[in-house]
Structure 1
């Protein structure tokens, strides 16, 4: 790490105890690495709040037997084709499928396609996982 800077942090003993428990649970080697990850996570959230160019995944589970569902999902994906970088389709069983879409674009546009897909009748569950291109992170 270039230009590593050390600094002190004061906090309530109870909060530090909870932080140390989280560090142990998640197998961090030290407080510094855990704190860096928390800061990065907050910065990624800010990118999404500021509607910057971002990347993420949209995961949906659906019943392919629902009338015209496949056509609706395909139409939505074609409508937003400029944002969709890749898709993965898995048959879970004879009725259910899982799709994962990798998306890249402005946060607002990605939220819009995620909301459209997830709210489509027949989609049993969906989730947008927001991340970053990493361009603005150290």
Structure 2
């Protein structure tokens, strides 16, 4: 256990880990850090991990409770098999998808937002299904 004074660590105890990132992601991380004023790489990675944990924790804590929120993603509509998969997923989860918003970004890409309400268990299943297809920039907000 490494004991240090780090911003955002409440009990002053942290563990050192090692990660491997592709060069392009590391470059994007550096650029983003400069843009938002984060000086230490460990702080940026810590914030990313905290966000990842919080997002998934929201789904875990809710259990069988009802949730409401949005799920957004971008996809290439020229890939017909991908479009078919996304439509199949939407039809399969039609019970919890209240509405969809569809925006054409350019000749190939579309941005879609699903407005959802239902058992958190089903919402989690929907999100996991979308993670399995080639939709990019998958993001969700659940309350």
Q: Under TM normalisation by the shorter chain, which class is it?
A: 0.5 to 0.7
Aligned positions, number? 89
Picking from 108, 131, 135, the partner of 1:95 is 108
Alignment of 1:12-91 (within 5 A): 49-51=61-63, 52-91=65-104
User: CA RMSD of the aligned region, Å?
Assistant: 2.2
For structure 1, the 5+ residue unaligned runs are 1-13, 16-41, 132-138
Cα distance in structure 2, aligned partners of 1:72 and 1:46 = 26
Q: Which has the higher contact order (CA 8 A, sep 6+)?
A: 1
- What TM-score comes out, normalization by structure 1 length? 0.58
Gaps of 5+ in 2: 1-6, 9-53
Change (3 A) 1:66 1:55: same
Alignment TM-score, normalising by the size of structure 2: 0.56
Question: Which runs of at least 4 in structure 1 moved beyond 2 Å after TM superposition?
Answer: 45-48
Give, in whole Å, the separation in 2 of the partners of 1:65 and 1:100: 19
